[in-house]
Structure 1
Amino acid sequence: MNRDAFLTRAQAAKVVGMRESTIGNWRARGWMSPEGERRHLTVRRRKDGTLGYRLGDVLDAERDTRNNPKSRRGGGRVAALRAAGDAEPRGAKELPRAGHEVLRLHCPPRPTSLSALAAAA
C-alpha cells in the first residue's frame, strides 16, 4: 500500500469507513496524536481543482481517533473505562444499527414499473 498516494475525500472516507465530513474536519481542525500534538491532513490541489488527501495521514487520523480515550468514535473510550474497572459506561446498551437493513423492514418496497405503480393505487 502506497501511503503517499492522494485520494479524493469520498475515497478517503470509504477507506476508513467514516463520513466525508469527518475527513474535512480532520483537515480543518486536525486530530490529537497519541503524543498529544495536534496533527492535520496533508492535502494537495488536484488538476480538476479538488483536494487530494494523503492516504497515510488519513489512516493515522482514523487510528489515533479510534484509540483516543476522549474520542466519541471507536472503542477507545470503552477500553479506557474497562481499564479503569468500569465494565460498561452507565446506561450503555447495544442498539441495532440504523441502516438500510432496518429501513427495509419498515418501508414497503418501491414500485419499479408503471404497471406496479398503477396496481398499488
Structure 2
Amino acid sequence: MGGIALLLAGSTWLWLTPAFAGRGVATSGALWWVTRLLCLVTIAGFCLATYGLFARRPWWETAALTSSAIGLVALLTYAVAAARGGEPTGTWLWNAFVHVLMLAGISALLLVPALERWVDSHVMSP
C-alpha cells in the first residue's frame, strides 16, 4: 500500500503542469517551461523511489526525499506561474496546499526517527 501511495502522490505533480491549467490561463513562457520540467523530473523521481521500495533497495528513501525537494521547487515555480498567468487564486492555492501537505507527510514518515522505524519495519521486513 505504501508503494502505491508513493506512486500516486508523485503522479499528482501532473496537476501542476500547463496541461491542467484552467481555460484562459496564459501557459507560455519560461516559468511554465521550468515548472513542466521540474514536475516531470519529480514524477520520474517518485516512480524511481517506488521501484526502489518494491525492489527493497536501500536508496528508495533518498530518492523519495530528493523527489520531494524537487517537487517543492516545482510547486514554487507553479504558484508564481499560475498567479501571473491568471489562474484563480483558489485553484492554485488549493493545489499548493495539497502538495505541501503530501510533502510534509512524506518527509515526516522518512525523517522522523520513530516514524522511519515504523516505515522500515513495514516496508523492508520480509
TM-score (norm 2): 0.25
Larger Rg: 1
> Which one has more relative contact order, counting CA pairs under 8 Å at least 6 apart?
2
More strand by share: 1
